[in-house]
Amino acid sequence: MLQDKIITTGYSAIDRLIDNFSKPNLVLITTKNKNEFLFNISKFISASAKIPTMVFSLEFKKEDIIHDLLYSCAHINSEKEIARNFDKKEWHNISNAIEIFKDISMVISDNTNNIDDIENLAKKFHNEHNSKKKLIVIDNLQLIEINENLNSKSKIESIIARINALAENIDSTILLLTNHSHNNDDFISKNATWVCL
C-alpha cells in the first residue's frame, strides 16, 4: 500500500525532516530556483508517489506554473519555449510530459494571499483527501497577508505560527517557501524547521 512505502521529495534534506509524511510538519525552505523546486515536488510527490498536493502560488499565475512544469518535464530549454520551434523528439517529450501530468493529483491556487483564505482552502483540500498523506506548498511567506496590525517581524512570526497550527490541524506536511535566510538572526522561528536548497 502507498501509505507503507518510502516516499521521497527528491530532496534528501527535506526527506530527513518530514519522516515519510508520518506526522504533521512545517518546513521553511529557502531556494534560489522556485520553478525547479515546484517541478521536482510535482514529479516526486504528485506523479511518482501519487500524493495529493496543493500549491499556493502568491507570485505566479497557475497557467505559468503549469507551462513551466510541462516544458521542464519535457526537457525543453527556454529559447525553444519562446520560439516554439520543436523537433520530432521534443514533441515526443512534450507528449510524454502531458501524459505524466494527466495523472498528477495537484491543485494550484493563485488567487489568494490572505492567511484566512489559505487556511480555509487547505482545510477543504484536507477534507477531500482526509484518509491520505498529502502535501501543501506555499510560495511565498513574504507575500502572505494577515488581518492584524503588526510590525514586519511580528507579522511573519504570527503567520508561521498559524501555518504550523494548520499543519497540526489537518495532519499534513506543509513546505513554506521564504526569501529569508536561516542565518538571519532577526528571523528565527521556533515553529518551523529551516532547509536551504
Q: Is residue 135 part of a domain?
A: yes
Look over the chain and give the mean of its residue pLDDT values, rounded to a whole number.
Answer: 81
Encode pLDDT of 84-142 as tens digits.
Answer: 778 888 888 888 888 877 777 788 899 889 999 999 999 999 999 887 788 899 988 88
Please check the confidence at residue 48 and state whether its pLDDT lies above 80: no
Please check the confidence at residue 189 and state whether its pLDDT lies above 80: no
Q: Is residue 89 part of a domain?
A: no
End-to-end CA distance of the chain, in Å? 30
Q: Which residue has the higher pLDDT, 185 or 105?
A: 105
Q: How many domains does the chain have?
A: 1
Q: Is residue 69 part of a domain?
A: no
Alpha helices in 74-169 (DSSP H): 78-83, 88-102, 115-128, 152-169
Spacing of C-alpha 119 from chain mean position: 15
Q: Is residue 70 part of a domain?
A: no
By residue range, what is the domain housing residue 24?
Answer: 9-61+106-196
- CB neighbours of residue 132 within 10 Å: 15
Q: Is residue 82 part of a domain?
A: no
Q: Is residue 134 part of a domain?
A: yes
**Looking at this protein, which amino acid is placed at residue 135?**
L
Q: Which residue has the higher pLDDT, 59 or 160?
A: 160
- Kindly report the pTM of this predicted structure: 0.83
Q: Is residue 99 part of a domain?
A: no
Q: Is residue 73 part of a domain?
A: no
3-state secondary structure of 76: coil
pLDDT at 150: 84
Q: Which band of pLDDT confidence, cut at 50, 70 and 90, is reported for residue 78?
A: low
What CATH number does the domain containing 112 carry?
Answer: 3.40.50.300
Helices (H) and strands (E) in the chain, counts: 7, 6
